[in-house]
Each structure stands twice: as structure tokens, then as C-alpha cells.
Amino acid sequence: MSYFRILFLVITVCIVSCHHKHGMSGDQSNPLYDEVMKVHDEIMPEMKTLHKNKKFLKSWKEDHSLSQTEQAKIDSLIILIDAADEGMMSWMHNFSVPEDSLLIEKYLLEEKAKVDKVSSDMKRAIETSNAFIQNAKPVEK
């Protein structure tokens, strides 16, 4: 069997098992589940931005002679980033659609509120840290 066929089979098994784990079998679809996953899928790529901003902030703090106020500002931004990161990781780890069809709707409504908060927290952390970083970088000529 070729490498690509094996890779295709592994990916297919992962996708099928993931859908089964989350209570969504092959051809079933739940619009609320789709809404939850849409929010997740939109914000998940921003994890890279969170990590990049945190790395910049830590480096900036180490490389510059800063006042206690400036150091505290950077520390608070790092805490904000860490909280947003942990919120996403925790939400993803705990997300598991129940198999009982009577519980699914309520569960997904609760998860929609949670993932919306995660999204909001991540966006706030990114916007706040981006503003600091923009002001911290010297203007290039």
C-alpha cells in the first residue's frame, strides 16, 4: 500500500472517530453543533497569534530596561494571553456531545455560550497585546 493511501486511511479514521466521539455520526447534522464548531474553527487559528504575541512580550521585557509600571503592564498582558489560551485548551478538552439525544440541544446551547466567551477572550487578548506591540516596536523608516 502506498504512503498516501495509508495517510488517507489514517485521516479518514481520525475524522470518523472524532465525529463519533462528539455524538455526531456520519450523515447526521445538527445546526447548533455546526454553529459551535464554526466559532471554534474561526478562532482556533488565532492561537498562533496569541503565542507569537506572548513570545514578543516576554522577549521585550527581557531585552529592555523597563519601569515597574511597564513590567506590570507586560505581565498583565501575558496573564491575559495565558488565560485566553487556557480557556481554549480547556474548552476543547472538555467538549464532548452526549450520546443521549434528549441532552444534546441543551448541551450545545451551553457550549455555544462557552465557545463564544472563549472567542471573545481570545480576541480581547490579541487586540490588547497587539496595541502594546504596535506601540513598542520602533517605527521603521
Q: What is the pLDDT of residue 136?
A: 83
Query: CA-to-CA distance for 109 and 10, rounded, in angstroms?
Result: 32
pTM of the complete model = 0.75
Q: pLDDT tens for residues 104-139?
A: 999 999 999 999 999 999 999 999 999 999 988 664
Q: How far apart are CA 72 and CA 64, in angstroms?
A: 14
What is the C-alpha separation between 76 and 26, in angstroms, rounded? 44
pLDDT tens-digit profile of 10-67? 455 545 444 444 444 333 578 999 999 999 999 999 999 999 999 999 999 998 888 8
CB contact set of 25 (below 8 Å; sequence gap of 6+): 19
The predicted-structure confidence for 57-70, as pLDDT tens digits, reads as follows 999 999 888 889 99
CB atoms inside a 10 Å sphere around CB 54? 19
Task: Break the chain into its structural domains and give their ranges.
Answer: 29-136
